[in-house]
């Protein structure tokens, strides 16, 4: 079987079909929104970075089922339409 060429379109669809992409995106957005609300004013830059990473890591693990559902929905939506041509 011949390898597919590595094009921007192929990379884009490969990434949106991965559950990890959605988990990372949700974790990043959650960390950016939640972390400033839970930090106290006496926390320095290093402490803030650690809390950001901890929040993002925990949300990444928790959102595994959500990432799978999103990618399954997109696969069904995109590949179903593509197959009907």
Per-residue pLDDT tens for 35-85? Answer: 999 999 899 999 999 999 999 999 999 999 999 999 999 999 888 766 555
Residues 26-31, mean pLDDT to the nearest whole number: 96
DSSP state of 2: P
Q: Show Cβ contacts of residue 21 under 8 Å, excluding neighbours closer than 6 positions.
A: 15, 67, 71
The pTM assigned to this predicted structure is 0.81
Cα 44 from Cα 60, distance rounded (Å)? 24
pLDDT at 84: 53
- Summary mean pLDDT of the chain: 90
Residue 13 has pLDDT above 70, yes or no: yes
Number of Cβ within 10 Å of residue 23's Cβ equals 23
Cα 78 from Cα 8, distance rounded (Å)? 17
Cα 60 from Cα 53, distance rounded (Å)? 10
């Amino acid at each position: 079987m011949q390898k597919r060429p590595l094009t921007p379109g192929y990379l884009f669809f490969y990434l949106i079909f991965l559950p990890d992409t959605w988990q990372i995106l949700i974790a990043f957005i959650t960390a950016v929104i939640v972390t400033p609300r839970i930090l106290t004013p006496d926390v320095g830059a290093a402490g803030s970075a650690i809390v950001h990473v901890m929040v993002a890591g925990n949300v990444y693990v928790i959102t595994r089922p959500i990432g799978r559902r999103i990618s399954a929905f997109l696969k069904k939506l995109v590949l179903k339409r593509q197959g009907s041509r």
